[in-house]
Amino acid sequence: MKILRGTKILGHLFWAAVAAAAAFCLGGIALNRGEHINSIWLVVAAACTYAIGYRFYARFISARVMTLNDQRATPAERLRNGHDFEPTNKWIVFGHHFAAIAGPGPLVGPVLAAQFGYLPGTLWIIIGAVLGGAVQDFVILFASMRRDGKSLGQMAREEIGKIGGFTALLTVLLITIILLAVVALVVVNALRGSPWGTFTIAATMPIALFMGIYLRYWRPGKVLECSAIGFVLVMASIFAGRSVAESAALAPIFTLSALGLAIAIILYGFLASVLPVWLLLAPRDYLSTFVKLGVVLMLAVGILFVRPELQLPAFTRFVDGTGPIFAGKVFPFCFITIACGAISGFHSLISSGTTPKMIARESHAWPVGYGSMLLESFVAIMAMIASCVLQPGVYFAVNSPAGVVGTTPAAAVAVISSWGFPVSVADMSNLARDVGEQTLFYRTGGAPSLALGMARIFARGGGGQAVIGFWYHFAIMFEALFILTIIAAGTRVGRFMLQELLGHVSQPLGRTSWMPGMMATSACIVAGWGYFLIQGVRDPLGGINSLWPIFGIANQLLAAIALCVATTILLKMHGAKYMWITCVPLAWLVIVTFTAAWQKIFSPIPAIGFLTQADRLESAVRAGAAANTAATQTLIFNARLDAAMCGLLLVLVATILLDSVRVWIGILRGTSEAPVREAPFVLSRLQTEEL
Amino acid sequence: MKRFGKLVWALLRELADENAYQRHLEAHGREHSGEEWRRFSEERLRAKYARAKCC
């Protein structure tokens, strides 16, 4: 008895110490001004806050709200078929789920938001994940698990109504198109004028084809062996890339303009969508998953080993909305720029996809749903650290578009230095030479500055300046590899959605194996995101300024839909008692996204408001201050198209929100039926040794 | 340490669909062959790439 009490007291003391460490480190990073802080402060603040959130908040949700019950058979057990439905070890499901939710979002978003300084983004990543993102993933996973692994769309249709289901489907399609355009733009900006990077990424295509044939005909089923060979070949291509960049004959072949790269990526997306999946997409996906997990682990070890100091201040002057990377004040734009590291609607699709079909025991939803999101949030913290270890002048020189800082290096460094972030042309030239690039100016999109930060951390871990070029291109390869996989898979998914829709009009078009239908629908999807990509490439402000906010708004609005579904389910289970768990993050997201979308459409500042941008250009043309060329007319049209896109997303989410509120009021007043549509209870017969 | 290693190996095999293939063989009482892998792989990949990939 005494031992038990002693252990309990020790436990309380331990958690009190963790809470104190979290508060001390959060206070430390929040109150520190005027001197550089070590990245370990961020790591400890994040890790301790996650631990508290996981141990107390998630436990409260699982015990009181969800009443997770290991006696209840999960769909993995009841519907076991050896394919999708299979009870799996919780840590394997955890890794599987994390690999599925971790994309470029948590890496790129924090890098872009670092223009406000490290503090706003860091606080949002930590607090947003603990109270919002992880809660959304956890509740949706739980809801899907209790409903035989149903998708978000199906749950929206059943719990809210037909409007909810249709709106969710349409929003996903629109987000997919914007997502593919924006991530393609990140790759274009990273590889533009870079023969080393372009060669490395181009080499991954024949490597993937080789892997596909190897796996299908030479060594069927040996995926790990094949991926190991693919990894060795990709590493060899990074080494070979340096020789290509130094070769007078080969370098020009692989030195592509932004437009050339955009066209190449559009062609790749089309081919990946129509070619057999085993030939190109699947082998790339296997390889990129392993590389992604390996690099995330390497970065964590690198940061802990090197413990770099943050060079960017806690706040920059750009919290006022005049930032060069994207325009807009810290509220609301910081909160839509960082989506995936704090809360991401896309995760709800994964939480209601493969994962609920693999959960062996209900209690496993806690580490898988809540825990995986915390790990994803930690990836975002690492990305924030990697971008903040750069000198602020270098960070802004890499990320600022020519349209803002001037079209020559001399003009750019003069403007950036005038902001209080000194940098010289010589500094930038030396840095570019060190990493084997011709220039690092105007590399908007976040990927190159993240790669620079990662290369610095890895190089300090061993090898120093001599290997920084290799690490830079390794980081670029890692980012581009899995972004291109997302483009290939996303185009394919978009095609399926469109074919499903068109199948109601013409049956052959709905058949996924009918070649003409396949080609036509792939072309439509590629044309959709390709249009936005070309728009971004031609945008004088770098494209990221307009496309990333639309993507952030769209992703957060999908999160709002997921939270509407989650709130409806909690309301049906417990009445109003626990609604706040999902309603608080929902209210915050609605405020943030509606404000951001409103500003992106109607702000009188042309750098922010799409309509003002279009009107200003039109007025300039009328006054003769701007040439009335096709390019100017396209810019005007694109600004209005972006405004329409934001408006459409707002209308879609407002529709589902109002529909949800109608259902909630009905339930609370008792005028609507509120059946909990869970699968019936079946006693679990799963043995521990089966896991 | 050995247990952790086993877990990592099992995770890698799960991500590589090798575990799923093993389950498929056991569930249908079949032997591994090139033809069997291609049949399994086509079905598995068709389902896998019909779902949205996360950002």
Q: How confident is the model at residue A505 (pLDDT cuts 50, 70, 90)?
A: confident
CB A52 within 8 A of CB A18: yes
In this predicted structure, what is the pLDDT of residue A691? 65
A15 phi, psi to nearest 5 deg:
-70, -30
pTM of the model: 0.94
Looking at CA atoms only, how far is residue B1 from chain A in angstroms? 15
CA distance to partner chain B, nearest, from residue A345 (Å) = 9
Q: Is the pLDDT of residue A424 over 70?
A: yes
* H helix or E strand, kind and range, residue A250: none
At A32-41, the pLDDT tens digits run: 877 899 999 9
Residues of chain B contacting A493 with CB distance shorter than 8 Å: 49-53
Residue A224 placed within a domain: no
Distance of CA A261 to the CA centre of its chain: 22
CB contact under 8 A, B34 and A217: yes
Domain boundaries along the sequence of chain B: 2-39
Strand, coil or helix: A103: coil
User: For residue A48, what pLDDT is reported?
Assistant: 98
Residues with pLDDT less than 70, chain B? none
Angle at A36 between CA A35 and CA A39, to 5 degrees: 150
Answer whether A96 touches B (CB < 8 Å).
yes
Contact B20 A349 (CB under 8 A): no
Grade residue A242 by pLDDT with cuts at 50, 70 and 90: very high
In this prediction, residue A689 carries a pLDDT of 63
Q: What is the pLDDT of residues A446-503, one digit of tens each?
A: 999 999 999 999 999 888 888 999 999 999 999 999 899 999 988 988 888 888 778 8
Which domain does A435 fall in, by range?
Answer: 2-193+256-545
φ and ψ at residue A163, rounded to 5 degrees: -60, -45
- The pLDDT value recorded for residue A82 is 75
Q: Which of residues 188-207 of A touch B (CB under 8 A)?
A: none
**Partner residues linked to A88 by β-bridges:** A359
With beta carbons under 8 A apart, name residues in chain B contacting A104.
55
Across the interface, whether the CB atoms of A101 and B10 are under 8 A apart is answered no
Find the closest chain B residue to A169 by CA distance: B52
Whether residue A567 is contained in a domain is answered as no
- Whether A318 has a pLDDT exceeding 80, the answer reads yes
Instruction: Determine, yes or no, domain membership for A550.
Output: no
Alpha carbon A652 to its chain centroid, in Å, reads 22
Cβ–Cβ under 8 Å, residues A68 and A62: yes
Say if residue A93's pLDDT is above 70. Answer: yes
Q: Which residues of B touch A91 (CB under 8 A)?
A: 7, 11
The pLDDT score that the predictor gives to residue A1 is 66
Q: Could you say which residues from 47 to 66 on chain A have a Cβ atom under 8 Å away from some Cβ of chain B?
A: none
Give the nearest chain A residue to B44 (CA atoms). Answer: A83
Phi-psi region of A161 (alpha: psi -120 to 50; beta: other; left: phi over 0): left
Residues of chain A in contact with residue B37, where contact means CB-CB under 8 angstroms, are 216, 220-221
Q: What average pLDDT score do residues A129-144 get?
A: 98
pLDDT per residue as tens digits for the range A561-611? 999 999 999 999 999 999 999 999 999 999 999 999 999 999 999 999 999
Phi-psi label, residue A255: left if phi above 0, alpha if psi -120 to 50, beta otherwise: beta
List of chain B residues whose C-beta atoms are within 8 Å of the C-beta of residue A347:
54
**A90 found inside a domain:** yes
The reply to whether A106 falls in a domain is yes
Neighbours of A228 (CB within 10 A): 13
Q: Across the interface, do B12 and A290 touch by the CB < 8 Å criterion?
A: yes
What ipTM, to 2 d.p.? 0.96
Residues of A in contact with B41 (CB under 8 A): 215-216, 220, 278, 282
Q: What is the pLDDT of residue A214?
A: 96
Selected residues 4-43 of chain B with any CB under 8 Å from a CB in chain A? 7, 10-18, 20-21, 23-24, 26-28, 32-34, 36-38, 41-43
On whether the CB atoms of residues A330 and A322 are closer than 8 A, the answer is no
Element (H, E) at A15: helix A2-31
Please report residues of B whose CB lies closer than 8 A to that of A99.
15
Chain A residue with minimum CA distance to B48: A354
Residue listed under structure tokens 């708004």: A553
Distance from CA of B7 to the nearest CA of A (A): 7
Tell me how far apart the alpha carbons of residues A454 and A450 are, in angstroms, rounded to a whole number. 6
How large a percentage of chain A has pLDDT more than 90? Answer: 77
For the segment A174-195, the average pLDDT, to the nearest whole number, is: 92
B37–A221 CB contact, under 8 Å:
yes
Question: What is the model's pLDDT at position A690?
Answer: 64
Return the sign of the alpha-carbon dihedral for residues A231, A233, A239, A243: negative
A553 domain-assigned? no
A residues 215..244 contacting B (CB < 8 A): 215-217, 220-221, 223-224, 227
Q: Say yes or no for a CB contact (<8 Å) between A101 and B7.
A: no
pLDDT of residue A402: 93
Substitution target from A79, A80, A81, A83 for chain B, most B beta carbons within 10 A: A83
| Stretch A267-290: mean pLDDT | 92
Which positions in chain B touch A289 (Cβ < 8 Å)?
Answer: 15
Nearest to A357, CA basis, from A71, A79, A68:
A79
Return residues 462-491 of A near B (CB < 8 Å): 485-486, 489-490
Closest-CA residue in chain B for A221? B37
Q: Please give the tally of structural domains in chain A.
A: 1
Q: Which residue of chain A is at minimal alpha-carbon distance from B24?
A: A82
